[in-house]
Chain A
Amino acid sequence: MIYVVGGLALAIIYTAAALGIAIWQTDLHWFGDITLACQVTLSPLDHCRLDTIAVGWETLAGLCLAALMLITTLLLAQGRQTVKRWALPPNTFERSILYRLFIIGVLTLLCAHFVTRITGPDQLGRLAMIEREGIFTSLENLCWPILLQLYVTDRSRIGRYFALTLLLVVASLAFFRGTLLLILIFGIGFYLLDFIWHILNRRNHWKRYRPILTERLIFGIVVSLLLIPAVITDSASRKAYVLSGQSTTDISSAARQPTSSLQTSDPNITQKPLLPTGLGERQIMQRIMSPLYHASMARKLADTVPPPTAWDGLARKLRLSKQPNLNEHLYHAIYPSHPAGQTTSLFFGEGAAWSSAPPLFWIISAVLFLFLLALAGERVGIPIGLLVGLAIWRGYTGGLIDILPSLMLQIIAITLIAKPWMKRMGALR
């Protein structure tokens, strides 16, 4: 359950940081994307900021209440845990046909993605590459949480390291820094924390666990040394790309300069000179604050423009419809000329668009739903803690409906892989 608590803690920390920056940054003229989001609802920037701060407080309150319920329940329900820790058997890799099929599928996918990448035309921009390799990225986004779950659950060393190797290949092909960071946080950070917690509860077995802990620490450091520079290099290259002015289609280019005075709430504001310094910091601050502004925009826009329904969102995620989902709808409102993209409107935006009650209720309910799912998995012995923890984080940013289809597919995959073992252990009758 450490992954579930960790996912929620991550959401709370992120919201607190975003709220802090939103309160601190009173002049929004330097944040191009945020200014554009405010313009959709025709809000003067200071009003927009105050609305967003209110959204931040409500989101934080909802998440903290959910965390309080979750932790209290975990503490009170102690002793009724039925899941076997390190649930998959040591011999999964050798014996499970479904596991082998899954691994073969992932290997085929990665090879196909790699071949597409190297055979692609030179001088292709980042957005064009994302569009070209979109199908591979989507499938990899579906697979890597399963690999991560296998990595933290599998008892066999070979199975664990094989999953880790595939994860690193996925990370090397990924376009988004978020994937790398989530692998680091959940696969290294929370994994070690979980193991340390496990040892602390069994103090008498310290000598037995020490070599395993040492080995995991070493692996954690090695993987961090591989991924952290990759994240830094990617960020630096994007900054150079934006500064060079080539990024005319990149949304972050809007942050390069303040918006025109015609587009702001105050017509007397004159255009400020472009500050060459502080671009990176501004971009990071903008990136952190944006979800709160998107959520605020979702609430205001829902009052006037009918949003796509939850069913539209589900159908879109399952590729059954071409109608935009809520986040695509919001993205289109901000960037009408951009062909594709999604905002991050949080649980809050989802609640504001599709519920008539205050979004606070939906924030709590969405977290509780995912928590109940993790408890149910634990009850029947399916190891889905990490998947649900990741879903809390991803759902927090994009909404529950956005992640529900992929989460269900991932849970089905893990269940099928774990099924032979579960039958043997009598967990399934």
Chain B
Amino acid sequence: MKGLQRHLLQLMILLLIGMTLLQSTWVYLQIDGAHRLRVTYHKHLPPNCFPLEIQRRLKQHLIKDVPGITSNQIVISSFADKLYLSLPEISKPRSFYVTLESILNEQIKCLSKEIFSLEETNLNQYGFRLNQIESIQVNSPRTLDYVSILINIVFCLFLARVFLKKTAQPPK
């Protein structure tokens, strides 16, 4: 077996072992907290209204009200008829999010007046309503992690077999 080939194979096997170990470590020892809080609000907004401004104000409010939280830790998304907030697990009572609901509703009313020029009678039909507060485990290993690690191990074994076969070959 040629020297270069042997070194390349060794390098590949080491790379794969390293990748598998790194992935396993990553999966089990994540720095970010293992739990996050997911708060869901039902939303009903004027047609074509997308609450980027609300998001900005909401983030500002959360950062101001919850010490230790940063903008990057707050994820907000809008899916179907719901607004989702994902936050690091913080010890805020349910009443905090109910208050947040009323703040959101105030903001949407302001925006509806400013941007959409809606009449006061129409404003009442739009707004947010707190739906659910749940604690979710975000960084637990999932099926795909195990599948991925398994594939790496199988590929590594395959390379080791090639390596052993090559080293067993008599020199030409």
> Could you list which residues of chain A lie within 8 angstroms of chain B, going by C-beta atoms?
39-42, 44, 69, 72-73, 76-77, 80, 260, 262-265, 267, 300-301, 303-306, 310, 332-333, 336, 350-351, 354-358, 361-362, 364-366, 368-369, 371-372, 375
Contact = CB atoms under 8 A, between A and B. Distances in A.
Nearest to B147: A365
Q: What 5 pairs between A and B have smallest CB-CB spacing?
A: A304-B84, A365-B148, A355-B144, A354-B144, A303-B75
22 contacts: A39-B50, A39-B52, A41-B77, A69-B12, A69-B15, A73-B159, A73-B162, A76-B5, A76-B162, A80-B162, A263-B52, A303-B36, A303-B138, A304-B76, A305-B82, A356-B26, A356-B142, A357-B148, A361-B26, A365-B147, A365-B148, A365-B152
Nearest to A368: B155
Given A44-B52, A301-B79, A354-B144, 16 more contacts: A40-B77, A42-B52, A69-B12, A69-B155, A73-B12, A80-B165, A262-B49, A303-B75, A303-B138, A304-B76, A304-B79, A336-B80, A355-B142, A366-B151, A368-B151, A375-B158
Contact of A368 (B82, B85, B152, B162): B152
A77 B165 CA distance: 10
Interface residues of B, number: 51
Nearest to A367: B151
B5 A42 contact: no
A76 B143 contact: no
Contacts of A357: 23, 26-27, 145, 148
A72 B84 contact: no
A354 B77 contact: no
Nearest to A353: B144
Interface in B126-154: 136, 138-145, 147-148, 151-152, 154
Contact of B48 (A77, A262, A300): A262
Interface string B72-113: 000111111010111000000000000000000000000000
A304 B86 contact: yes
A241 to B, nearest CB: 24
Q: By CB atoms of chain A within 10 A, which of B80, B144, B152 has the most?
A: B144
A77 B49 CA distance: 58
Nearest to B30: A356
Given A310-B144, A354-B142, A39 B78 contact: yes
Contact of A72 (B12, B36, B38): B12
Contacts of A42: 50-52, 55, 76-78
B166 interface: yes
B80 A333 contact: yes
Nearest to B16: A69
Contacts of B136: 306
B80 A263 contact: no
B141 A361 contact: no
B30 to A, nearest CB: 7
A263 B75 contact: no
Interface string B1-20: 00001001100100110010
Nearest to B149: A365
A304 B80 CA distance: 13
A303 B136 CA distance: 10
Contacts of A80: 162, 165
Contacts of B151: 365-366, 368-369, 372
Nearest to B25: A357
B168 interface: no
B31 interface: no
Nearest to A361: B23
A199 to B, nearest CB: 26
Contacts of A364: 19, 152
Given A262-B49, A262-B50, A333 B79 contact: yes
A303 B50 contact: no
A362 B48 contact: no
Contact of A304 (B75, B145, B159): B75
Contacts of B143: 310, 354
A39 B155 CA distance: 40
A371 B12 CA distance: 15
A369 B155 CA distance: 8
Q: Which of B51, B52, B78 has the most CB of A within 10 A?
A: B52
Given A80-B162, A80-B165, A351 B8 contact: no
A262 B79 CA distance: 18
A388 to B, nearest CB: 14
Contacts of A300: 75, 77
Contacts of B12: 69, 72-73, 76
A265 B145 CA distance: 35
Interface string B155-170: 1001100100110000
A254 to B, nearest CB: 13
A355 B148 contact: yes
Contacts of A356: 26-27, 30, 138-142, 145
A305 B77 contact: yes
A421 to B, nearest CB: 26
B147 A40 contact: no
B118 to A, nearest CB: 13
B145 A355 contact: yes
Contacts of B16: 69
Contacts of B85: 304
B1 to A, nearest CB: 10
Given A76-B166, A357-B148, A365-B147, A301 B77 contact: yes
